[in-house]
Amino acid sequence: MNYKSLLASRLVSQVEGVSEDEIAELIEYPPNPQMGDLSMPCFKLSKQLRKAPQAIAEGLKEQWEAHPAFERVEAVSGYFNVYLNRGQFAADVLGEVFELKERFGSQNIGNGRNIVIDFSSPNIAKTFHIGHLRSTMIGNAIYKIHEFLGYNCVGINHLGDWGTQFGKLIVAYKLWGDQAAVEAEGIDELQRLYIKFHDEADNNPDLETEARLCFVRLEQGDEEALKLWKWFVEISLKEFEKMYALLGVRFDSYAGESFYNDKMDAIIEELKQKKLLEEDDGAQLVRLDEYNMPPALMIKKDGGTLYHTRDVTAAIYRNKTYDFEKAIYVTDAGQSLHFQQWFKVIELMGYDWSNKLAHVPFGKVSLEGAKLSTRKGNVIRLEELLTLAVEKTREIIEEKNPNLENRDEVARQVGVGAIIFSDLSNNRIKDIVFSWEDALNFDGETGPYVQYTYVRTCSLLRRANGGEGIELPVSSDALNLALLDDAEAQGVIKQLYLFKERVEQAMYKLEPSIVSRYLVDLAQSFNRFYHECPILVDDVSLRQARLALVKSVQITLRNGLTLIGVEAPEKM
C-alpha cells in the first residue's frame, strides 16, 4: 500500500486545480509521531487557493471522510496531519514482507530494459587501490539496486589494459625485468618496473621515445610485444579476481580498453566524415571550445589512440550491443572533465542517446592517522586494507564472543563489510577520511552495527518458542498484529514501510548511501523496540506478533545489506 498516494487520492477533490500527483509530492513524513504519521503542509497551496494555510488545513479536516486505513486527522499550524490506524498499518506492512520475503522492497520499474554499468575498471599492472574499491562497491550497489527494480543489468569491467603505459612496461621489462620475479611478485613487481622506468627516463629521454614506439608496435600487432602484454594482463587479472571474490563482486563482461582496438578505425572515419576532427600539429582532435572545454584528443601525433578514443568507441559499441536505457560510468570525480568531453563528442556525432550516458563521480578516500604500509607508490593497497580489517575484526570477535564456531568466515564477512559500508555511508561525492575506529565501531553508524542487529534478530528467532524457532503463519491474518500498537513497534513498522521508497530514491539518484543510511535507521529503530519491549513474553499472541516484527526486520535488513553488497552473518 502506498499511503502517500492513498491520502492524495482522498484529498484531491478538496483541492481545486492541483493534481493527485502534486498532492502526493507535497505530503511529508513528519519528524516525530506527535505531528502525525503523514502530513500535508498547506503553505504552497495558499496562493492558489487564496486561503491561509491553516484555513486550508481546517477545510480538509471538515471535509474528511473516515477510511479504515486512517485513525484520525487534525489541522495544526497550517499542516493537515493524518494518523494511521496502527493495527491496519502493521498488518499491511508485515503482510507484504511475508508475502515478498527476499523480494520485499523490490518493484518492476525497469521492465527488463538494459542498464550498462561500467565500474571498478582497474588498470593492468597497477595496484588495485582504495579508489578502485569505491568504484567497485558503488558500481556493484547500483547494479544490484537496478536489478532489484526490474532492470536487466550488464556489469562491465572496462579494464585499463591498453595505452602508452604498456609501451613503457614492455621496455622496462626487457631492460631490467626477470620472469621469475614477475611470476612470484605479480603486480608489485610490474609496478616496480614501471616506477623504475620513470626514474630512468628522467635522465634518459630516449626511453620515452622507445616506449612510444613500442606501444605503436603493440597497436600494430607486433608478436613479441603482444605476448608480453597478454602475460601482464593475465597476471593482473589473477590478482584482481582474488579481490573480487573476497568482495563478492562479479561482472558480466571484462571487455577492457583493448577490446576496442579493431573498432576504433571506423569511429575515427566516422568522426572525419562528420567533420568533427581537426588536425593540430599532427594530432587529431575534436574542438570543444564552444562548450568551454579543452579539445578531446583522438589520435596522437605518432598515430596512437587515447583514453577518449576508446571510450567513444566503447559507448557506440555498447549502444549497439545492449540498446541501453542508461549507461553508467563510476569513477572518481577527478575524471569528470574526461566524461563531459566525450559525452559531448557523442552528442556532436548526432547520437540522440548521448543523454543516456551518466557519469557517477565519487570523492577521494584518505586514511586517518597512521598510514598503511605503502611499500610502493603512494596508494593505499586494497589487499592490505582488507586483510587488516579482517584481522582487527577477528580480535574484536574473539573478545566479544570467544566461542563463535566459524570465526574466520565471520571475521571476513564483518571486516570486509565494515570497509564496504564505510565507503557507502556518505554521499558518494564527499571526500572521506577512513578511520578504523569509526568503521569497526559496533555501536556506531556502521556495517558491524547493522550486521550485529541482524544477528540479534536471528538469535531472537532461534530462541523463540523454547528453541523451536518461529514458523510464521503463511498469512499475517493468523496473527493479531493490532498488538503492535506501541510507539516503538510502530517506529519499526514505519521504517519497514519506507524501505521500498528509499531503494527507489537510491536508484534515481544513483546514490547507494541512501540504502546504507536507511539500514542504520532501521537498525536503530529496531534496537529501541528491542530495549523497550520484551519479545519472548508469556502471552502467546503478543509474543507471536512481536516475533513477526522481528522476522520482518530480519528480512528487510538482509535485503538491504544484499543491495549494497554486504553479507549478513547469522552469528557473530
Q: Which three cell numbers stand for residue 474?
A: 503463511
Strands 326-332 and 357-362: parallel
Provide the residue count of the chain.
Answer: 572
Q: What share of the chain is helix, strand, coil (3-state, %, to 5)?
A: 60, 10, 30
User: How many helices (H) and strands (E) are present in the chain, helices listed first?
Assistant: 21, 12
Q: State the amino acid at position 105 in one-letter form.
A: G
Say if strands 114-118 and 152-156 run parallel, antiparallel, or are unpaired: parallel
Nearest to 476 by CA among 107, 90, 102, 105: 90
Kindly tell me which of 18 and 510 has the beta carbon lying closer to ligand ARG.
510
Q: Which residue has the cell 562548450?
A: 291
CB of 295 to ligand ARG, least distance (A): 18
CA dihedral of 32, 38, 44, 45, whole degrees rounded to 10 = -140
Q: At closest approach, how far in Å is the CB of 256 from ligand ARG? A: 8
Residue of 44, 51, 61, 132 marked catalytic? 132
Q: Which of 61, 126, 174, 274 is catalytic?
A: 126
- Return the residue matching grid coordinates 564483518: 414
Residue 403 is classified by DSSP as T
Nearer to ligand ARG, 122 or 447 (CB): 122
Minimum distance from residue 160 beta carbon to ligand ARG (Å): 3
Give 126 or 212: the residue with its C-beta nearer to ligand ARG: 126
- In the complex, residue closest to ligand ARG by CB: 160
CA nearest to 554, candidates 407, 429, 452, 406? 452
Cα-Cα-Cα-Cα torsion 268, 269, 271, 275, nearest 10 degrees, comes to 140
Beta bridge partners of 260: none
Residue whose entry in the numeric block shows the C-alpha cell 556493484: 140
Query: CB-wise, 82 or 137, nearer to ligand ARG?
Result: 137
According to DSSP, the β-strands at 38-41 and 79-84 are antiparallel
Q: Is 132 one of the annotated active-site residues of the chain?
A: yes
CB of 230 to ligand ARG, least distance (A): 18
Q: Which of 37, 311 has the CB closer to ligand ARG?
A: 311
In whole angstroms, the minimum distance from the beta carbon of 387 to ligand ARG comes to 22
Catalytic pick among 47, 129, 196, 320: 129
- Least distance to ligand ARG, CB of residue 157, Å: 9
Between residues 123 and 457, which has the closer beta carbon with respect to ligand ARG? Answer: 123
How far apart CA 302 and CA 149 sit, in angstroms, is 47
Query: Is 275 a catalytic site residue?
Result: no
C-alpha cell at 506: 537510491
Shortest CB 512 distance to ligand ARG, Å: 18
Distance CA 442, CA 464 (A): 25
Interface with ligand ARG (CB under 6 A): 118, 121-123, 158, 160, 311, 329, 331
Other C-beta atoms closer than 10 Å to the C-beta of 231 total 15
Do 572 and 410 touch, CB atoms closer than 8 A?
yes
Q: Which three cell numbers stand for residue 18?
A: 492541483
Nearer to ligand ARG, 3 or 329 (CB): 329
308 is catalytic: no
- What amino acid is encoded at 45 in this protein? L
Q: What's the distance, Cα to Cα, between the start and end of the chain in Å? A: 35
List the Cα angle 18/19/25 in 5-degree steps: 95
Beta carbon nearer to ligand ARG, 196 or 338: 338
Minimum CB–partner distance for residue 473 and ligand ARG (Å): 50
Catalogue the active-site residues: 126, 129, 132
